[in-house]
Amino acid sequence: MIKITFVVHSLQPGGIERSVTRIVNGLDRARFCPAIICLDGSGPAANWLTQEVPIIEIRKNAGNDLAAIRRMAHALQELGTHIVQSHNWGTLVETVFAKKFSRCPLHVHAERGTVLGLVESGGFRHWLRARAMSLSLSQVDQVVSNSRTVADRVHQRCGYPVEKIAIVPNGVAEITLHNRAEVRDEVRSMLGLEGQNVLLGSVGRLAEVKRFDLALAAFAAAYSDEETAHLVLVGDGPERDGLIRVASELGVLERVHFAGHQDDVSPWLAAMDIYFNSSRSEGMSQSLIEAMAAGLPIVATDVGDSAYVLGDAQFDKAGICVPANDTQALAEAFRRFSSDLSFRKRLGLQSMSRHQRFFSEEQLLANCQTLYTHLVGDSQTRKLRN
């Protein structure tokens, strides 16, 4: 039995938390015993866990907190952890030290998204973090990433050899609703939509990096004279009030819906006709793959691994990519999807097919479990040799 502990900042809803809970839920309990350590506290994402799992809250203070590291090391000892897995810059350094204090055998570090907590690099702050990250990663047994783009970014920002980074793509379960048509009608009715309305939507934290302000501007430009189009944002975050103001200023607030955080996004995806991702920075977007699992045609900005995820072959692609931060290009893509129903349907079918072949939950779990098993086996082999 391999005991693996996942370290996150908290269990507030987000991409890392969705990925961790998905892996924890799917691990083979005959072979793996998972636990979660939150450097801060738990949160609503704990509700995504489908089985009972130990959740330890460290309650780390801001800045350097040696006492928190010792509490974390003690928790790793109490759990009898064989593998501890940290996630992104925010948990890396603390996990490196806690692993040493606890004498935990193996440390896996998962890197996704911006790297070092910074979208842009440069300046003394970046240099200092990059140096600390480089030193920390040299102590890690295996670095993994969900994205080729992020792996390259790790190398560029702190010099870690890209060939040593294992790529484990995101994977999500197929979205199956037995009463999909009924659920779709229910959500659309709640939003005040009629049969002829086209609904564009996106799922994500309402944060600046997601550029939902750009999406609202593109929506207003694409449908300035068309009252049948609506847009829904599923998620919450610091930009919510600002986005409401933007929608009001653009004159589209009556056709823009803010659904807030939703534990289950599948009914909302079922209600959409077109999915969009307007981010200015990504690794491998998990919400993009969830949209593919729901069979939605997609418009996405060409950032991170989005072009790779969507594909480029005519018979295979799940959507189209447009340049980041380009309102006109996004608006033109919106118009194309809305005006060409057959194109939209074809890409929706290809979207679901591409998910099943490349980004299924089964593939994600198989990749993770193989990685963990090999690491433990290699570690035991090294001990026997020594």
257: Cβ–Cβ under 8 A, 6 or more apart, which residues?
A: 191, 230, 231, 232, 233
What is the reported pTM?
0.80
Q: Are 86 and 8 in contact (CB under 8 A)?
A: no
Q: Are 281 and 304 in contact (CB under 8 A)?
A: yes
Domains of the chain with bracketed CATH: 2-171+361-385 (3.40.50.2000), 180-358 (3.40.50.2000)
The dihedral formed by the CA atoms of 359, 362, 368 and 369, expressed in degrees to the nearest 10: -160
Q: Are 335 and 341 in contact (CB under 8 A)?
A: no
* Secondary structure (DSSP) of 91-160: HHHHHHHHHHHHT-SEEEEEE-TTSTT-SS--HHHHHHHHHHHHHHHTT-SEEEES-HHHHHHHHHHH--
Q: Are 14 and 205 in contact (CB under 8 A)?
A: yes
189 burial type by CB count under 10 A (0-12 exposed, 13-18 middle, 19+ buried): exposed
Q: Which helix (H) or strand (E) holds 167?
A: strand 165-167
User: Per-residue confidence of the chain (386 residues) as pLDDT tens digits?
Assistant: 999 999 999 998 888 898 899 999 999 999 999 999 999 999 999 999 999 999 999 999 887 889 999 999 999 999 999 999 999 988 999 999 999 999 999 999 999 876 666 545 567 777 788 888 899 999 999 999 988 888 998 898 888 999 999 999 989 888 777 788 899 999 999 999 987 889 999 999 999 999 999 999 999 999 987 778 999 999 999 999 999 999 999 999 999 999 999 988 999 999 999 999 999 988 888 899 999 999 999 999 999 899 999 998 777 899 999 999 999 999 999 999 988 899 999 999 999 999 999 999 999 999 999 999 999 986 665 554 44
Q: Are 293 and 173 in contact (CB under 8 A)?
A: yes
Radius of gyration of the chain (CA): 22
pLDDT given for residue 112 in this prediction = 82
